[in-house]
Amino acid sequence: MKVLVVRLDSFGDVLLAGPAVRAAAEHASHLTVVCGPLGEPAARMLPGVDDVIVWQAPWEGTHPPPVDEADVMGLVETLRERAFEAALVLTSFHQSPLPAALLLRLAGVRRIGADSVDHAGHLLDVRHQRLPGRHEAQAALDTAVAMGFQPRAGDDGRLRVLPTPDTVPLTGNGPYVVVHPGASAQARSWDAGRHAQAVLLLADAGHRVVVTGGPGETGLTRQVAGDVAIDLGGRTSPRTLAGVLYGADVLVCGNTGPAHLAAAVGTPVVSLFAPVVPASRWAPFGVPSVLLGDQRAPCADTRARNCPVPGHPCLNGVTPEDVLSAVHKLLKVSS
């Protein structure tokens, strides 16, 4: 059976779909993932994926493209040619799967399932409704199971990626802590100066520190690393970053993709978690973690990308000493 899994949005969202993808792959002769450009690197790291179709939907992301009939119908024709027998549409708790389901129906997909609170008419064959407060990774797997895609016996349902490369040439030998200061939204960012102070405290406490970031974050990583940490800003692909995180004792970062990548390679996370989305749904999944940040701040559940509260109190109340203490707590748990 040829199975399609649709998971649009970003890198971390696709990683969280991993357990559901593995479950679907158990019942598929060939499994394809449809994702957006930001999610493509994650999709290509997921076990069970045979093929990836990259498509930027006009209803997803912070800067979606305009509706282009030729582009939309091009996707429909591509899907029609591949003759998928079943499709699983995965979304976040606040999103509707119905636009994607409509395109799949036009493409002739025989059986379509998704998590939906909306009346789906003839768009869904399986209309699952998630349990309240379910973590996004669990909710996605629940939807797969509702489609009849039971996971393999013994699969623990945790996040997972394909084997990572050796990154010792980048990090050097010996234990280290990774600090990833960047985030995709300002509301989820801890102050760069506080990050730099935390790096200094970690180094003073005897830890080797590795600072990571994307190509557009090299100024930030340089500031945070200072003279005491290894600066890998702009020097890691997503797969290489997975290797760096796999070798780390702990990751310190915000609610952003690398937190889920760390979880996928089994590394504990100190999560500087702004409550603009609920931690119950988006915290690092399946690994030891410490959440720092006021989860009852006025910005809670606003889904804001820019902090709506002067002074950014939910995260700016966190001190570098709090981070050091959280790292040491996780080191004791994992030792």
Give the three-state DSSP class for 179. Answer: strand
Note whether 2-146 and 168-334 share their fold: yes
pLDDT (tens digit per residue) in 307-323 = 888 888 888 899 999 99
What is the CATH code of the structural domain delimited by 2-146? 3.40.50.2000
- 238-276 pLDDT, tens digit per residue, is 999 999 999 999 999 999 999 999 999 999 999 998 888
- The tens digit of pLDDT for each residue in 270-318 reads 999 888 888 899 999 999 999 998 788 888 778 878 888 888 888 889 9
- Residues 149-193: tens digit of each pLDDT: 999 999 999 999 999 999 999 999 999 999 999 988 787 889 999
Contacts of 54 (CB under 8 A, 6+ apart): 34, 35, 36, 37, 40
Q: Give me the pLDDT at residue 295, please.
A: 85
Residue 215 has pLDDT above 80, yes or no: yes
Show the DSSP H helices in the chain as ranges.
Answer: 11-16, 18-25, 40-43, 69-82, 98-106, 136-146, 168-171, 192-204, 218-225, 238-246, 257-264, 279-282, 313-316, 320-334
Rounded average pLDDT over 201-222: 96
pLDDT on residue 150: 97
Q: What is the band of 335 on the pLDDT scale with cuts at 50, 70, 90?
A: low
The CATH number of 168-334, from 3.40.50.300, 2.130.10.30, 3.40.50.2000, 2.40.110.10, is: 3.40.50.2000
Lowest mean per-residue pLDDT among 44-48, 112-116, 141-145, 307-311:
307-311
Q: What is the pTM of this model?
A: 0.95
pLDDT computed for residue 298 by the predictor:
84
Q: Is the pLDDT of residue 110 over 90?
A: yes
Instruction: Give the C-alpha distances (Å, rounded to integers) separating 213 from 180, 203, 207, 237.
Output: 6, 19, 19, 10
Residue 43 CB partners (closer than 8 Å, separation 6+)? 7, 14, 33, 35, 49, 52
State residue 294's pLDDT score.
78
- For the chain, the domains span 2-146, 168-334
